[in-house]
Structure 1
């Protein structure tokens, strides 16, 4: 999923193009959350040092379980 507009990214080239545009344009996390709700996403895992997106999503996507992985030891809760 592109953070720029919430659209699906299906190929490596699309990913690279999307990443370049994401760096030079605003990230639209609101569109990403709307797309995830439309796609009926059942869980969200954020790999980050801060967990900012999980905090935003908890307010906008009530009822969807969220997990922030902040450090390697957090992977233990997933049995990894």
Structure 2
């Protein structure tokens, strides 16, 4: 929305007719939507697979750290008694 307003103000400042301003803004919006839809499915699938691997690795790391904390806690409790 900000970009549309900025574009409108810029075109209005150089005395572009109102109808042409709207046409230019619509064309830019259309081009923007096409460029974001350009992401190919294999790239997206590869990204999701990599993200899934990262998630599994992160969960495993957290599990190992939790097990270490529990071991240290139990060792501390055993040492106190």
**Higher strand proportion:** 1
The TM-score, its normalising length taken from structure 2, stands at: 0.21
The TM-score, its normalising length taken from structure 1, stands at: 0.21
Larger-gyration structure (1/2): 2
- Higher RCO (C-alpha under 8 Å, 6+ residues apart): 1
**Higher helix proportion:** 2
